[in-house]
Chains A and B, each alone.
Chain A
């Protein structure tokens, strides 16, 4: 096998087993950054040996065992060697050399790793980079490309995050911390999804690979925390939103708005999965992500945009602004209220947001206002709002869309 094809196999096995391996090593050495370095060393060993000796029959367990041996070596070399070894022996339940695998605490360790990557000592950027690195198995280059940042910046974020975590150890959040930490984890995953779903700059309307990555993380969480309603709510929200990706751009790569999309191009498998996840989330009690998924489901269930149950969507937003008030949610509520047949009330909701600093340069605010004004036949004002939206957006495709709408209205 050529070095290049071996590299691709190593990458594939790493994507499947890497997070488990890092998590298992982190439990042994009590340091996520160190665990990741040991895991990386293991990959280097595989890349040296496999082209020569062939890919092992069980590549996952091979990497796991090799990583474990590296971890033992590292622990032995540490200064407080004896003490560490005692700790290690206790952790490994029966000593260093009895072949204890890393599989004994697999779900536990992985969950601990996920929670650690979203630790409050980290910046949001650090959480995102580390989550993609440790749990998605993305390289620094891939992370840099996904977030349109220089590779050095991405590398720095990861190094800094690992350093911040070195004093934290590898522990589960206390029961009192768990709800908040889970919220942070879900926030990071949804942030990654949104980065892919709506690229905020450049000509790229969507970067589907990041969406896939976030959905994968969501599914992993759903497997680890099957009784958490919001985990299923987030999975449902992402799968339902992603089901529309194939229809969001036309043949020339221009964005197509929800109402104009060819619904035959929506992904039926993702819709089916999304609705199943939503059902589970609602059965378990729901929450803000579940509400947003329920809104997305209203679109998914509508065969054509005329069939959309805007009344139900407006009612769901009514609840959402109560449990998770934010200017953007209010803005979306205004759209739904307008579509449900009360554009005057929609306009009042938007205008009540005029003092919101967060929305000051947000292109969607004038765009929504423009749409509501158009519904009220206040055409010149509507066109002016779309022209304003066009000057605010950093997304070229979106700018074209707003300018076209302004021209249409005169």
Chain B
């Protein structure tokens, strides 16, 4: 079964420590080699994006940045046997942030992608 993880946090004015970036790369390599990580990418700040809204029958397009306090910083798609496994990868990911970027705060949403197991015959 697949899970999409979305990392949210505040885009910092200072760049993340290089040790953190190296640890993230290592962790990504581990997750890939264990067969769990299918796809991942960092995301540019919402200032370079846009939002298309449908409200009251009207479509509007607004350029970023979005007003939310936290931005989506990266995403990953994991192929795992159970939710707890995706949660474990997400936790490991946040732990390297905790250990290598003191003071940084964020959250990972772990969301299930629909799969055949959700439509039992």
Contacts and interface: CB of A to CB of B under 8 A. Distances in A.
B63 interface: no
A59 B121 CA distance: 37
B33 A269 contact: no
A220 B88 contact: no
A7 to B, nearest CB: 9
A234 to B, nearest CB: 13
Interface in A184-243: 206, 208-209, 212-213, 215-220, 223-224
Contacts of B32: 219, 223
Contacts of A224: 33
Interface residues of A, number: 31
Contact of B35 (A8, A9, A220, A245): A220
Contacts of B34: 16, 216, 219-220, 223
30 contacts: A8-B82, A8-B84, A9-B88, A11-B81, A12-B80, A12-B82, A12-B87, A12-B88, A13-B88, A15-B82, A16-B85, A137-B81, A208-B117, A212-B1, A212-B79, A213-B81, A215-B35, A215-B79, A216-B34, A217-B35, A218-B35, A219-B34, A219-B35, A223-B32, A223-B34, A223-B35, A249-B121, A269-B38, A269-B39, A273-B39
Contacts, number: 68
B95 interface: yes
Interface of A: 8-9, 11-13, 15-16, 57-59, 137, 206, 208-209, 212-213, 215-220, 223-224, 245-246, 249, 252-253, 269, 273
B42 interface: no
Given A219-B33, A245-B116, 5 more contacts: A12-B80, A12-B82, A13-B88, A137-B81, A273-B39
A215 B82 CA distance: 16
Nearest to B98: A57
A9 B95 contact: no
A164 B106 CA distance: 50
Contacts of A213: 81
Contact of B38 (A11, A13, A273): A273
Interface in B67-121: 77, 79-82, 84-85, 87-89, 95, 115-117, 121
B84 A12 contact: yes
B115 A208 contact: yes
Contacts of B81: 11-12, 15, 137, 209, 212-213
Interface residues of B, number: 23
B24 interface: no
Contacts of A15: 80-82, 85
B36 interface: yes
A216 B88 contact: no
Contacts of A206: 116
B85 A12 contact: yes
Given A219-B32, A223-B32, A16 B88 contact: yes
A301 B75 CA distance: 27
A212 B79 CA distance: 8
Given A269-B39, A269-B77, A11 B82 contact: yes
A212 B81 CA distance: 8
B33 A11 contact: no
